[in-house]
Chain A
Amino acid sequence: MSKISDFSSTSARQSVELAIQRAKEANETYNFAISLTEARALERAGKVESGEITGRLAGVPFIAKDNFLTFGGTTTAASKILSNFEAPLQATAIEKLEAEGAICIGKANLDAFAHGGSTENSAYGPTKNAHDQTKVAGGSSGGSAVSVALDIVPFALGSDTGGSIRQPASFNGVVGIKPTYGTVSRYGVVAMASSTDVIGAFTTDSTDAELVMSIIAGKDAKDMTTIDDFFAPEAVKPGQKIGLIKEFMTDDVDPEVRAATLAYAEKLKAAGHTVSEVSLPIVKYTLAMYYIIVPAEISSNLGRYDGIRYGKRAEAGSLSELYGKSRDEGFMTENKRRIMIGSFVLSSGYFDAYYLQAQKARTLLINELNELFGQYDALIGPVAPTPAFALGENSSDPIKMYLADVMTVPASLAGVPAISVPAGVSSTGLPIGVQLIGQRRSDAALLALSGSLEGSI
């Protein structure tokens, strides 16, 4: 896989043309991209060549998950309702990358509206794993992860609401960062669950993740939940205390995944850090919290897709029929499940028992994590219970699919940073990632830690 710095000596036009050509070829097999923004990419490459566009990423091609609003093509969120949607604005993250000369060459496949963990719930068909075409890419940012793993682009943008960057990063053997909530502006990204949605990146190593994060992070008046720009690459702190979350290492977790996690823990020890087992007992309830809070926010955020102001409109005689048919035709089954679960948990008779109870439980989770962060610099555990599973294996059983998120949702609900870095390969050749979780604003410290071990895996 290529690093961002590998592009500094090639011409922008060559880099972009090659990336587009390779994307077209690979897409026939892997279906990682929904569309390519060829014309705009070549136009921008020309401007880099002429010196009109400069910056730290001048001429470096990248791919954005198709829930980022971009110029030069459609933004579908992998849904039918937005199949023809051409955004009148660009996401802040895209604008910031373009200001540094980066060139978006296409839009990556995802689970529609980012609802899913396999990139099978796409209206444009599933994405295939970069290492095994019979396996899922992971999700929901599956296409972004695969585009980096296949070496089409050196970095890609994704969004992570409950694991949607970390899990596909693990499944495809690349680095994925879910930053502290509020680090990167969500403006111009299709909203899923506003209290846990974050924007992050896929790269081939931790240094490139630092570079991309340092460009896209920062306060944005267009997203009032953004926090001050704290992200700055730092040196690894020696002799860190790392906690291995024991609830993530039970017999329910694939033995090869546990072995890769323990092997990474050994490397941390060899580098002079201490690793000891810690307990996060509330983990058994975090998936239930997540699948109450997130559908509640989804049901609200997806209310805007009604066929009136933009998106596809169904033929109908009355307004209510127009809403109902446009939404029924425009959403995938998983979107409907989540919207209806959200409507259920927010209903007047059930609000306290479900939604309020989940938000109280979220406080207990944050308290447990804070207690650990008082004693440990970072926590470690697997990203997902298994390596990439087979296409179709979990798609008929929503609960089975949800269980794959069990180790990624705690950091999401708490709003703390977590990264997924390659830690090993299964006996069948599938990548296995390890997850490092830190306290709020420790994003750069986590990348410094993982970066210090790269080359030794």
Chain B
Amino acid sequence: MTDEAIAYNRGMTQISTDDVRHLAQLSSLQLSDNETTDLQHDLERIISYIEQLSELNTDGVEPTYQVTDLENVWRTDTIDDYGIGRDALLAIAPERVGNQIKVPKVL
């Protein structure tokens, strides 16, 4: 995935409407033109705000991805449907044909 489309200069974050469209595409969001304009303004401000974290010296610091200290919580390799049958899950699909969920053509 190319990110060149995201124009960005450290210190003076600028987000163009093309950048917003690119991020929308990465996020599977089909935005209207009005939303794109509003989000361009919002995202530019938010990214400028979070950018301040670059001031912090984190040389040699390990990242924290989770806080439980749990490691490799295993379970046996057997199927567990958690008490929810296939029919109950198929019943909540927006469109169904038999035992399958129907979607528009992919290609």
Contact = CB atoms under 8 A, between A and B. Distances in A.
Interface of A: 85-86, 88-89, 181-182, 195, 221-222, 224-225, 227, 282, 285, 287-289, 291-292, 299, 303, 306-313, 316-325, 327-328, 331, 333, 336-337, 339-345, 347-350, 353-354, 356-364, 366, 398-399, 402, 414-415, 440
B65 A195 contact: yes
A318 B104 contact: yes
A299 B24 CA distance: 11
A291 B46 contact: yes
Interface centre among B8, B95, B104 (most CB of A within 10 A): B104
B30 A340 contact: no
15 contacts: A86-B92, A88-B89, A225-B66, A225-B68, A308-B94, A308-B103, A311-B94, A318-B104, A321-B30, A324-B28, A327-B29, A328-B32, A336-B35, A340-B23, A360-B63
Contacts of A225: 66, 68, 70, 73
Q: Is the interface of A mostly helix, strand, loop or mixed?
A: helix
Contact of A341 (B46, B53, B54, B65): B46
Contacts of B45: 398-399
B61 interface: yes
A357 B101 contact: no
A318 to B, nearest CB: 6
A398 B46 contact: yes
Q: Is the interface of B mostly helix, strand, loop or mixed?
A: loop
Contacts of A311: 94
Interface string B66-90: 1110100101000000111000110
Given A319-B106, A341-B46, A364-B61, A313 B67 contact: no
B58 interface: yes
Contact of B29 (A317, A336, A415): A336
B97 interface: no
Given A319-B104, A328-B35, A363-B61, 9 more contacts: A225-B68, A291-B46, A303-B28, A309-B92, A321-B30, A341-B47, A350-B3, A356-B63, A357-B54
A72 B91 CA distance: 16
A285 B55 CA distance: 9
A363 B64 contact: yes
Nearest to A354: B50
Nearest to A284: B52
A328 B32 CA distance: 9
Contacts of B31: 328, 336
Nearest to A324: B30
Interface string B26-56: 1111111001001100110111011111111
